[in-house]
Amino acid sequence: MKKVELLAPAGNLEKLKMAIAYGADAVYVGGEEYGLRASAGNFAGEDMKKGIEFAHARGKKVYLTMNIIPHNTDLEGMGEYAEAVSAMGIDAIILSDPGVYSIVKEAVPEMEIHLSTQANNTNWRSARFWHEHGVKRIVVARELSLKEIREIREKVDDSLELELFVHGAMCISYSGRCLLSSYMTGRDSNRGLCAHPCRWKYHLVEEKRPGEYMPVVENERGTFIYNSKDLCMIEHIPEMISSGACSFKIEGRMKSSYYVATVVKAYRQAIDRYYENPEGYSFDRFWAEEISKASHREYSTGFYFGRPMEGGQIYHTSSYIREYDFVGLVKAYDSNTGIATVEQRNRMQSGEEIEVETPEGRYFNHIIAGMKNEDNEDIDSAPHPQMTVYMPIDREIPEYTILRRKSKQ
């Protein structure tokens, strides 16, 4: 049985490295143009080249998003850009528009093409059409149930790959093409500039009573009528694999390195456990607990088991649930002295208890016994963003290890 691919988001070079260190088989990235996450760090030429080299050296793949819905001016320079990223070694380009497809095929005819969820592929006829025109993989629309996905799998050629989202934020316009942001703020979500107005709080104003704001209430629970829950399928790995998909995709190019590492590791462990013994597979609640330590909204299973109806929305708030703080990233460990070199990510103090999360295995608890700064001076706290500190840790830990603690909020 060929193991399903675990595909992770990488908004910048650090996130790419963290995703791969924590178990991703492939990552998807955006350049500075043509992708749908303009607010992500994204990759300039040199960083993209470094990221591809890092991934390929470890037997992993890198896919590039070019999935905007372009206007005429967006087409300028697109062919040259495709040639440049192809020369760097990008493994596939993810796109949604037929015009972009034709440009990429003319510029780099051998490039592997993946059809983005933005293309709203909801049926087997559409999937077959794109495959006959040279698309290698379809990222199916998020409005589909597992039953519908299985039917697509049965009715298309075995050589066509299907990719499914398994985790992350959901858009009110599930597979995109939303005009709300463009109308309200002038920021076109279909060109990567979404202002996320679906997360805002709304009131109703009657035309002849300006200034009188009436709350929009759904069953007395609140006013965030567009605010979707996050997707989480960690408890349904066997069902997802039985759909016939070849790749499980995690959303989140704008999320933190900590989010990427935490979520990737949990899905990596669940997927590996399944393939070790499919018949005897059992879900470990520890994986769900770990995922919940990353910033998230309330979870749902999206459309996979039927229409979510009101269960897919959060009406009372648009806030994230944040129960843990990412306080440090291990850059090196000296096994002779037992000293870890740590880049600070949130204020931490001597004497407090933290969790040490390594790329493999389970985390362990640790009391910060002391810290030194770059001048080898003893310090009681590390208050400055991304300052380098040195601290003793009594077991050897690898680069990319995460230090976290339960939030003090």
270 and 382: one domain?
no
Do 62 and 144 belong together in one domain?
Answer: yes
Domain boundary among 305, 333, 362: 305
Residues 10, 28 contacting (CB under 8 angstroms): yes
Residues 6 or more apart whose CB falls under 8 angstroms from that of 85 comprise 31, 48, 64, 93
d(C-alpha 247, C-alpha 301), whole Å: 17
Q: How confident is the model at residue 68 (pLDDT cuts 50, 70, 90)?
A: confident
Give the C-alpha separation, 21 to 400, whole Å. 7
Domain assignment present for residue 186? The answer is no
**pLDDT above 90: percentage of residues in the chain:** 69
Burial class (CB in 10 A: 0-12, 13-18, 19+), 179: exposed
Q: Is residue 329 located within the same domain as residue 301?
A: no
Please enumerate in sequence order all residues whose Cβ is within 8 A of that of 327, keeping only pairs 6 or more positions apart, or say none.
Answer: 344, 345, 346, 347, 348, 354, 403, 404, 405
Same-domain status, 255 and 155: yes
Residue at which a domain ends, from 305, 339, 362: 305
**Between 236 and 170, residue with greater pLDDT:** 236
> Is 161 strand, coil or helix?
strand
- Report pLDDT digits (tens) over 271-292: 999 999 999 999 999 999 999 9
Provide the greatest CA pair distance for the chain.
76
- Same structural domain, 106 and 50: yes
Do residue 19 and residue 156 come from a single domain?
Answer: yes
Q: Give the CATH number for residue 373.
A: 2.40.30.10
291 φ/ψ angles, rounded to the nearest 5 degrees = -60, -35
Domain contains 199 = no
Residue 321 is encoded by which pair of tokens?
């649930």
Beta partners for residue 162, in sequence order? 138
Instruction: Count Cβ atoms below 10 Å from residue 229 Cβ, excluding itself.
Output: 19
Query: For residue 399, how many other CB atoms are within 10 A of its CB?
Result: 14
Give the mean model confidence (pLDDT) for residues 373-379: 96
Task: Supply the CATH number for residue 285's domain.
Answer: 3.20.20.70
Decide if 12 is inside a domain. Answer: yes
Mark whether 58 and 148 lie in a shared domain: yes
Cα distance between residue 272 and residue 267, in whole Å: 8
Averaged pLDDT for residues 73-93: 94
Cα gap 80→160, rounded to integer Å: 27
Contact 38, 66 (CB under 8 A): no
Domain extent at residue 273: 5-174+228-305
Task: Give the strand pairing for 113-115 and 92-95.
Answer: parallel
Last residue of a domain, one of 305, 332, 361: 305
Residues 154 and 294 in one domain: yes
Whole-number Cα distances in Å, 73 to 76, 77, 105, 182, 189:
6, 9, 19, 17, 16
* Predicted local confidence at residue 360, as pLDDT: 94
Q: Of residues 408 and 273, which shows the higher confidence score?
A: 273
- Residue 192 within a domain: no
Q: Based on the domain organization, do 400 and 282 belong to the same domain?
A: no
**22 domain-assigned:** yes
Report pLDDT digits (tens) over 224-243: 666 778 899 999 999 999 99
Task: Provide the token pair at 16.
Answer: 């790419």
187: in domain: no
Contact 121, 153 (CB under 8 A): no
Where on the phi/psi map is residue 352: left (φ > 0), alpha (ψ -120 to 50), or beta? beta
In this structure, the answer to whether residues 298 and 351 fall within a common structural domain is: no
Query: What digits encode the pLDDT tens for the residues 349-371?
Result: 999 999 999 999 999 999 999 99
pLDDT-derived band at 392 (thresholds 50, 70, 90) equals very high
User: How many domains are contained in the chain?
Assistant: 2
Q: pTM higher than 0.75 for the full model?
A: yes
* CA atoms 142, 169, 73, 186: torsion sign: positive
Domain-embedded: residue 159: yes
Of 249, 191, 168, which is closest to residue 66 (Cα–Cα)?
A: 191
312 assigned to some structural domain: no
Pair (134, 166) in one structural domain = yes
Q: Are residues 295 and 156 in the same domain?
A: yes
Average pLDDT over every residue of 40-58: 87
Instruction: Pull the structure tokens for residue 252.
Output: 């989140």
Beta bridge partners, 341, equal 332, 390
